[in-house]
Structure 1
Amino acid sequence: MSAAPHKRKPLASSILLWVRADQPRQTGMDYWRDPHSGIISATPGLEEYRQIHLAERNPGLWPDTRGLETAIPADRRIDGVAEVTFGSLLSPLRGRAQTRLAFKDEINVFRRTLLYAGPPYSARWYDVAEPGRRPGARALVYLRRRPEVGGRAFRKLVTGELAPALAGTGVLRELRTQTFLPWNEKLWDTPDVAHDNPSGQRFHASVMLGFDDLAARAAFFASREVERLSSALAPHVSAIHAYDVSAALTFVSRGVILPHYRQ
């Protein structure tokens, strides 16, 4: 049996984003990449800032599973996700002035933004690939727990069972997990942008999966391993939305603003 991969526990959160509908979608995605990225990148205390651009056509990559919602509803389909990682617990306080600038700029590009945060250092980044080996394809998976499943038990399921099972497949070139605290609008109550998030549509964890290429990704979602995972997750999870990631752009890495984003 291969050894479990080394993992890091960063202080990370995610902001789910929907671009404005009164202009072409690509216009919004381009504005998010630049100039909006410059505002976020300049925030003091960032360890990493990454934009996850999701494909426009995203019906859902996770295979049909009895009892699970795997088709992504068109009216709640996410356009992108901002992954924000801080250097320490005090870093958000250092960046408050820059964050206010980001608040003001949101209306220029987004119609809805939702912040998901977990307990401090509850995110996990697993070293499942050799250094310098970057994924050629990715999928971003969101999970919604069943109402009768407690938050602590669910977080334990994701980090103690799901992540090791995924790492054990041997096909991943990136594996990152986040588990979320109950959603609270006041954590990211930006002006002039919607924050509607009905309780039945909220998420409780995310998993970023990286693969060598699109063929490897397709083979993974068609595999017996995923079929077994679905069966194991069904008693605990009501929805699994697996998004096709069109680009993952890193603007800040190891606390340094990159001269040009890295794909």
Structure 2
Amino acid sequence: MVVRPVTTTTATKTLSGIYPVRYRADLPRRVADEYWAGPHAELVKRGGHILEYNQYHFAETDHGYWPATPTVGTHPAEMFRWNGVTEVRLRNYPEMARAAYGMLGTIFHDEQNVFDNVLGHVCGPGGGSWWTVGHDPSVGHRTVLLLRRRRGVRRRRFHTFVHNAFGPVLAAAGALDTRAYTFLPFTGIAHRTPGLAHSYPPGHRHDGAIIFGLPHRNDVAGLLSDPAVDDIVAQQAQTLTAVHAYSVARTVSVIDQVGR
């Protein structure tokens, strides 16, 4: 029997990292998916010092379904569309350093075997909020929202909107295993693995993310019809210029040590 972690009303703050990935164009999608979930994941397991490590493999065609409002883009450009996201949670900064050291010569050098581009985003103290006590394996469908902050809007205001409004409203409306993240500036420089790119043009970068689950993909429409969620959509242009929704075709829970 699968035990579902409890959805909480009060957010737990986390030290986390979010890593959008784009596969090598010269590899078939199926080959890249299996390598990321197989040999690469096995290297991650042996590295240590990580509380939770999830891979979210995006569907090839199901994306861009967040409601659009004037001046807020919802459809990622094809040439800048991601194939997935890695989500990492750590206990503290010393453990982050130990985890990174353990990846030298192994995971970092392995990324060139499957990825063309990886962007490393550290969320910093309080930059991650969880409305769940841990990974929920029973969730039927997940969505990853990649958020772009409106330039001219201060980072503190963006942080408040994501953690105190957007995330809590989704959790209260019935979203499962909800996590919200805001990225520290310039943290992409912390992820410079050899043999692949680590940059995107400014107009195609993201400043935060929200990951949430539902029993089924069709339940997204019901979530969006909730009045509080509809109100968030109405407000989004004040803080954001893009909300790119990606349907997760496959979630791979590589490490799950939360609560142990």
Q: TM-score w.r.t. structure 1 length?
A: 0.88
- Deviation of residue 17 (structure 1)? 0.4
Partner of 2:91: 87
User: 16, 27, 33: which one pairs with 1:29?
Assistant: 33
3-state DSSP of counterpart to 1:57: strand
Contact 1:39 1:98 in 2 (8 A): no
Looking at structure 2, the residues matched to 49 and 128 of structure 1 have their Cα atoms a distance apart, in angstroms, of 14
User: 114, 120, 125: which one pairs with 1:120?
Assistant: 125
Contact 1:45 1:88 in 2 (8 A): no
Q: What amino acid maps onto 2:240 in structure 1?
A: V
- Deviation of residue 184 (structure 1)? 3.5
Looking at structure 2, the residues matched to 195 and 132 of structure 1 have their Cα atoms a distance apart, in angstroms, of 30
Contact 1:9 1:125 in 2 (8 A): yes
Looking at structure 1, the residues matched to 258 and 249 of structure 2 have their Cα atoms a distance apart, in angstroms, of 25
- Deviation of residue 133 (structure 1)? 7.5
Partner of 2:115: 110
For structure 2, the residue ranges without an aligned partner over 5 or more in a row are: 1-7
Partner of 1:71: 75
Contact 2:50 2:88 in 1 (8 A): yes
- Deviation of residue 20 (structure 1)? 0.7
- For residues 216 and 152 of structure 1, do their structure 2 counterparts lie closer, same or farther at Cα, with a shift above 3 Å needed? same
Note the 1:239-250 alignment, pairs <5 A: 239-250=242-253
Counterpart check, 1:155 vs 2:159:
yes
Q: Deviations over 1:38-82 (max 9, x none)?
A: 111222211011111111113411023221101121111110111
Counterpart check, 1:181 vs 2:184:
yes
3-state DSSP of counterpart to 1:78: coil
Contact 2:175 2:223 in 1 (8 A): no
Partner of 1:261: none
Q: What amino acid maps onto 1:117 in structure 2?
A: V
Identity %: 29
- Deviation of residue 157 (structure 1)? 1.4
- Deviation of residue 256 (structure 1)? 10
Looking at structure 2, the residues matched to 51 and 79 of structure 1 have their Cα atoms a distance apart, in angstroms, of 11
Q: What amino acid maps onto 2:90 in structure 1?
A: F
Note the 1:207-226 alignment, pairs <5 A: 207-221=210-224, 224-226=227-229
Q: What amino acid maps onto 1:231 in structure 2?
A: A
3-state DSSP of counterpart to 2:88: strand
Q: Deviations over 1:189-246 (max 9, x none)?
A: 1111011222222211100111111221232245554432221111111001011011
Contact 2:133 2:258 in 1 (8 A): no
- For residues 74 and 97 of structure 1, do their structure 2 counterparts lie closer, same or farther at Cα, with a shift above 3 Å needed? same
